[in-house]
Chains A and B, each alone.
Chain A
Amino acid sequence: MPAGVEADFRSPFSGGGGLVLGRKNVISAFYAGLFYIASILLVVGVGYKVFRYARTPAPLKIPVSPAPRTRTGVVFRMVREVVLFESLFKSNKWIWVFGYLFHFGMLVVLLRHLRYFTQPVWWWVEIVQPFGIYAGFAMLAGLGGLLLRRIVQERIRYISSPSDYLMLILLIGIAGTGMLMKYVEHTDIVQVKAYFIGLLNFQILEIPSSPILLIHVGSVALLMIIFPVSKLMHAPGLFFAPSRTQVDNAREFRHEVKWARNLPPLPEDIEQKKEG
């Protein structure tokens, strides 16, 4: 039993129940398996993709204006891109507003969720708690705005595939069920926490069988699974876009990659070339 979790939570696999698995136990085990698989796929999938991005050379210097001339400048540029969505702000205010509400709402909500995974809860996670409530609304509002835009704005509808709508619907589903549990259909939070802390310690406790909770966490697992094979890779991908991450110093420092170095050499002087 992890420290701090009250002793009266029963593990379905320890003690009296033995081999007879009830419906609840099957559900608990299923979700446990789902989360283990989802976590592995997320970490391995994203890790593999990031490894591939990092390994792939960028043969030429292609920073796009306004391009910083120093490494420090690039770090600041990227911080502004990640924290402020600077380029998006300059290029489209509506998408920026909705995108910003959604992402930073989601960030705060995620931080708030850390309380289900830490015992004792970290102090700063405690501080985040009250904001989390507004953040949930912000996230939903942002997602709603993005979905609406995707449907009503002709240009964006033109470039959308089914997966683009489904992704938003999935996220709205996650946020929506979360809010439902908060305001309408309360769940046994203490037991949920025990379940996830149990998973972190490789123990399968009992998950509350509220359908809303099961949809909520099931959708999160699905999101984790599709993350590495979907456009959600934009989050790590951003840090590998040469147009934004390269330093504008091509004249000062020679940029060269391996495959280019291995190209057949060209003649140094003109005469040789004419003969060849």
Chain B
Amino acid sequence: MVALDINTGKSPKFVGDPHAVPKIECGAMADVKSFAAHPEHNEDLGFPGELLDNWQEVAIAKIGELAKKNRAFQVYLDTCVKCGACTDKCHYFLGTGDPKNMPVARQDLLRSVYRRYFTFAGKYFPWLVGARDLTKEVLDEWYTYYHQCSQCRRCSVACPYGIDTAEISMAAREVLDSVGVGQKYCNEIIAKLKKTGNNLGLNPKALQATLEDLEEDLEDETGIPVKLPLDVKGADILLITPSADFFAEPHIDGLLGYAKVFHAAGVSWTISSYASEAANFGMFIGSYENMREVSWRIRQAAKDLGVKRIVFGECGHAWRVGYSFLNTLAGPFDFLDQNYPIPQHIMEFTADAIDEGILKIDKSKNDEYVMTYHDSCNVARGSAMGREEGGQFDLPRKVLKAVCNNYYDMEQDTIREKTFCCGGGGGLLTDDLMDLRIKGAKPRMTALQQVSEDHGVTHMAAICAICKTQFSKVMPKYGYQMDSILSVHQLVANAVILDGEDNEDDTASDADNTSMEEK
């Protein structure tokens, strides 16, 4: 059979190896730097506005403090044996060839300084163990390369000791912030959130108007008044979703999907204008205090609105904070209904609704798509879903397969816990890092191209706001339309049929349906 295929020229073409290791090119990305934060924004976050005069002293003290406060930081800096197993696991190294983007080399930027000031070997034999003094050049290098790490943890999975470069890069950013060297993108956003409740700086009135517009669209489409409630006291469920869901494509379509699922399930729910943001950039800058403050708003909103449950929308790192940290940062949530996970992911909610047969689904509505799924790193490696181990991989696929007829996975070593980052996570989703973002997306894009070649995959779904934005920007560079990235709940929205829905409007797909049914 295979031979026959080759003869007819129909054998799948090999498009490239997502794991292909580039030739090392020192300094390839040394000039790619994201913009520095405005002093005002540094101060909003409780950091010095500009580089301190005694920055060296402060930075070293901060490293010592972190080693005392965070076991991961201390143990990871001590235990690396330089085995090299992680060196070819980072998408930024694979995409750029810059050796400082190899995870262990990235750690070493800080480890070398830690050794110099905090270890016997580094104090007395610096040349032997590669220890070095903390100079301004080193500080600049930290800024550059710790802002070329999306904190995706792929390297941690590969390391025999689980050494997590994300932890080191968060710590490094905290050290940088503590001496007044903040990054514009992250710090500006956190400052905005503290003022308005979301990363966009969207005020409650504007949010209300946006939601009303969306309700109109939904009613036009379905003929049913599906609601997107805001600040409704006494609702059962508080939905915490990334603010990108209110305005960006394809995020909005995901939001409409949640609304339809909630409507079909007949639950009362609400969005909060006070905590109108799932994203928590406090994690990206490694600041426990800022992350706690941002998380705390969710607790306040839940109490204020008197809800019983909290459900998170599609957002990668937000779900990591939600699943893994929220209970620690803003718990205990003894005032919520203990019969449900706190918090719950919309994917868990939808999967349950599918299991219980609550959703009426017409899969053929998604027949125009041949789908694959991008496991967002923070969901894949930093959190979980459902009751079974690996639920964070299985639930989204289960939901996708329940609403689509055509689904294919990408290569095994590029999905699930080995998934490649989109290239824009960890506080790097900014135009000043576009070069890095395009190159960092290469491994993921190559795997996608391969599955397109092999199975005719046309679209990819994701459950991370950052992933979606990043892909819609970089996909065109790899031969895809910018709308080839979809929200999982967008596909759910397409396929769900609400009770009393007026299907006659939708003539094209309706014709399809009837013909399918007749068959």
Contacts and interface: CB of A to CB of B under 8 A. Distances in A.
A85 B160 contact: yes
Interface stretch (B125-133, B259-267, B397-405, B459-467): B125-133
Contacts, number: 217
Contact of A251 (B80, B323, B390): B323
A233 B153 CA distance: 22
B390 A66 contact: yes
B150 to A, nearest CB: 15
B162 A241 contact: yes
Contact of A56 (B71, B99, B162, B324): B71
Contacts of B24: 154-155, 158
B300 interface: yes
A70 to B, nearest CB: 9
B87 A159 contact: yes
B81 interface: yes
A21 interface: no
B83 A99 contact: yes
A234 B129 CA distance: 15
Contacts of B323: 250-251
Interface in A86-110: 87-88, 90-92, 95, 99
B160 A156 contact: no
Contacts of A14: none
A159 B104 CA distance: 7
B70 interface: yes
Contacts of A244: 161-162
A52 B74 contact: yes
Q: How large is the interface on B (under 10, 10 to 19, 20 to 34, 35 or more residues)?
A: 35 or more
A87 B154 CA distance: 12
Interface string A141-159: 0000000011001111011
Contacts of B431: none
A250 B74 contact: no
Interface in A232-276: 233-234, 237-238, 240-244, 248, 250-251, 253-256, 259-260, 263, 266-270, 273
Interface string B300-331: 11011000000000000000000111011001
B79 A237 contact: yes
Interface stretch (A32-40, A127-135, A160-168, A186-194): A160-168
B494 interface: no
B389 to A, nearest CB: 6
B136 interface: no
Main secondary structure of the interface of B (DSSP, over half): helix
A45 to B, nearest CB: 9
Contacts of A64: 153, 156-157, 162, 164, 381-382, 417
Contacts of A178: none
Contacts of B164: 62, 64, 243
B382 A161 contact: no
A238 B274 CA distance: 42
A113 interface: no
Nearest to B387: A69
B292 interface: yes
B45 to A, nearest CB: 15
Contacts of B83: 88, 92, 95, 99, 156
| Most chain A C-beta atoms within 10 Å of own C-beta, residue among B80, B129, B161 | B161
B128 A65 contact: no
Given A56-B68, A243-B72, A250-B323, A155 B79 contact: no
A8 B382 CA distance: 65
A115 interface: no
Contact of B84 (A69, A95, A238): A95
A240 B86 contact: no
A215 interface: no
Contacts of A231: 78-82
B324 A60 contact: yes
| Most chain B C-beta atoms within 10 Å of own C-beta, residue among A52, A85, A158, A159 | A159
A87 B160 contact: yes
A238 to B, nearest CB: 5
A230 B131 CA distance: 13
A161 B162 contact: no
Contacts of B86: 91
A32 B87 CA distance: 43
Nearest to A53: B75
A186 to B, nearest CB: 34
| Most chain B C-beta atoms within 10 Å of own C-beta, residue among A56, A85, A256 | A56
A191 to B, nearest CB: 36
Given A56-B67, A158-B102, A231-B81, A65 B324 contact: no
B513 to A, nearest CB: 39
A43 interface: no
Interface of A: 49, 52-53, 56-69, 73, 81, 85, 87-88, 90-92, 95, 99, 149-150, 153-156, 158-164, 166, 229-231, 233-234, 237-238, 240-244, 248, 250-251, 253-256, 259-260, 263, 266-270, 273
Nearest 10 pairs between A and B by C-beta?
Answer: A237-B79, A161-B130, A91-B158, A243-B162, A156-B84, A244-B162, A65-B417, A56-B71, A155-B87, A88-B160
Given A62-B382, A240-B71, A266-B292, 13 more contacts: A57-B71, A65-B392, A69-B389, A87-B162, A91-B157, A155-B87, A158-B102, A159-B108, A241-B79, A254-B328, A255-B328, A266-B293, A268-B303
